[in-house]
């Protein structure tokens, strides 16, 4: 199949899930290594998020949702991205934000503060964070509005999946235009929805005439078991919801970040790597996901070398360095 099934395409706003380019990266050892510039999807929203929203927003509009509650940490890329698109689409919102350890407004916390007015942010103490979903649900139930929707942390859910699947179709377009075939694709994983979208998108598109691919998932904020469980649950739901036959041919392999591996943690070597990547490649990468992902992927490529071209998915955005300016200056 050349493109995704029509049922999937119809669920997506294609002015949001646009084509993005690929270009080769100069790795010193000469292995063909390309990058997909998902960071160029938006100037203010992290790339992978925009693909998810490309089906989430149409879903909310179709349901006539008037008010959305969203949940996340103070540095969440997801809240900042959603706040922009909900405003654009005139859907009112309340963000339930975990109280920051850092009192200073910087990075995504600053952007969120700029985007939302006081009434639209509720800070939840760390002690009460466990019950945040109940708090948000109760809040929505007490609004004088009928059509409300609760988005869980990271927006994991089937509504974002058609949008996330467009990544697979766009990679096939890149391959055709550049006369390439990527036998290995490196993608990072938070909730895993973007990586699952890639895998399930490829399941719709792959031809048995081509070699199997290896999808290498960098586990930034999820475990291998957690990811596989989600895959097992989401695959039949997607197949049923859209009447698809899904046949995953590709091999999935997992790697872990070695630089400051705990999700959200930072250290000196992470920032050194961020600067090194900028100097060597011209890419400004967010430390939280992309720097860790890039370091893990290039390391994996040198350990598990293949002659065929590999593709690195850059899901992040340069805005992601904003919160770390003092740490990034030498
Ligand atoms: C949010 C985010 C991810 C995680 O996406 P999931 O679909 O939740 O796995 C990965 N990379 C970057 C840069 C992100 O902002």
CB 43 within 8 A of CB 127: no
Which residue has better confidence, 150 or 154? 150
Q: Whole-angstrom Cα distance, residue 254 to residue 245?
A: 25
Residue nearest (by alpha carbon) to ligand 1 atom 14 = 316
Q: Whole-angstrom Cα distance, residue 292 to residue 27?
A: 17
Atom in ligand 1 nearest the alpha carbon of residue 192: 9
Q: Calculate mean pLDDT across residues 14-40.
A: 91
Question: Separation of 142 CA from ligand 1 center, angstroms?
Answer: 32
Q: What is the pTM of this model?
A: 0.97
What value does the mean pLDDT of the chain take?
A: 95
Question: Separation of 312 CA from ligand 1 center, angstroms?
Answer: 14
Q: Calculate mean pLDDT across residues 222-251.
A: 96
Atom in ligand 1 nearest the alpha carbon of residue 288: 13
Write down the pLDDT at residue 1: 60
Q: Give the number of other Cβ atoms within 10 Å of residue 104's Cβ.
A: 10
Q: Hey, which of 48, 164, 252, 296 would you mutate to test ligand 1's pocket, going by the most ligand atoms within 8 Å of its Cβ?
A: 48
**Residues contacting residue 213 through CB under 8 Å, at least 6 positions apart:** 182, 183, 184, 185, 202, 206, 249, 250, 251
Atom in ligand 1 nearest the alpha carbon of residue 193: 7
Write down the pLDDT at residue 102: 80
Question: Separation of 3 CA from ligand 1 center, angstroms?
Answer: 24
The pLDDT-based confidence of 232 (bands split at 50, 70, 90) is very high
Q: What is the pLDDT of residues 273-303, one digit of tens each?
A: 999 999 999 999 999 999 999 999 999 999 9
CB 310 within 8 A of CB 34: yes
Write down the pLDDT at residue 166: 98
Residue 37 has pLDDT above 80, yes or no: yes
Q: Whole-angstrom Cα distance, residue 122 to residue 136?
A: 9
Question: Separation of 194 CA from ligand 1 center, angstroms?
Answer: 7
The pLDDT-based confidence of 330 (bands split at 50, 70, 90) is confident
Tell me which residues have their CB closer than 6 angstroms to ligand 1: 46, 48-49, 77-78, 154, 188-195, 286, 289-290, 315-316
């Amino acid at each position: 199949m050349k493109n995704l099934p029509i049922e999937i395409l119809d669920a997506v706003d294609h002015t949001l899930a646009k084509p993005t380019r690929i270009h080769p990266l100069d790795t010193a050892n000469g292995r063909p290594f390309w990058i997909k510039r998902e960071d160029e999807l938006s100037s203010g929203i992290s790339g992978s998020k925009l693909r998810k929203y490309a089906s989430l927003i149409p879903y909310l509009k179709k349901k006539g949702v008037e008010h959305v509650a969203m949940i996340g940490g103070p540095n969440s890329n997801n809240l900042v991205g959603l706040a922009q698109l909900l405003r654009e689409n005139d859907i009112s919102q309340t963000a339930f934000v975990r109280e920051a350890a850092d009192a200073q407004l910087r990075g995504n916390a600053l952007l969120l503060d700029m985007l939302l007015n006081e009434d639209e942010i509720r800070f939840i103490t760390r002690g009460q964070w466990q019950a945040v979903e109940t708090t948000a649900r109760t809040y929505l139930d007490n609004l004088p509005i009928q059509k409300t929707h609760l988005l869980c942390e990271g927006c994991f859910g089937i509504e974002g999946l058609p949008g996330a699947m467009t990544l697979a179709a766009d990679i096939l377009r890149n391959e055709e235009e550049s006369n390439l075939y990527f036998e290995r694709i490196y993608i990072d994983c938070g909730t895993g929805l973007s990586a699952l979208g890639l895998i399930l998108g490829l399941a719709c598109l792959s031809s048995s005439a081509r070699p199997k691919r290896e999808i290498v998932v960098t586990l930034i904020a999820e475990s291998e078991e957690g990811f596989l469980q989600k895959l097992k649950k989401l695959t039949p739901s997607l197949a049923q919801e859209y009447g698809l036959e899904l046949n995953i041919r590709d091999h999935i392999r997992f790697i872990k970040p070695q630089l400051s591996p705990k999700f959200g943690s930072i250290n000196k070597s992470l920032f050194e790597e961020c600067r090194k990547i900028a100097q060597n490649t011209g890419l400004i990468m967010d430390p939280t996901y992309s720097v860790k992902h890039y370091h893990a992927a290039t390391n994996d490529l040198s350990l598990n070398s293949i002659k065929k071209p590999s593709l690195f998915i850059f899901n992040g955005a340069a805005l992601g360095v904003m919160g770390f300016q003092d740490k990034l200056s030498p």
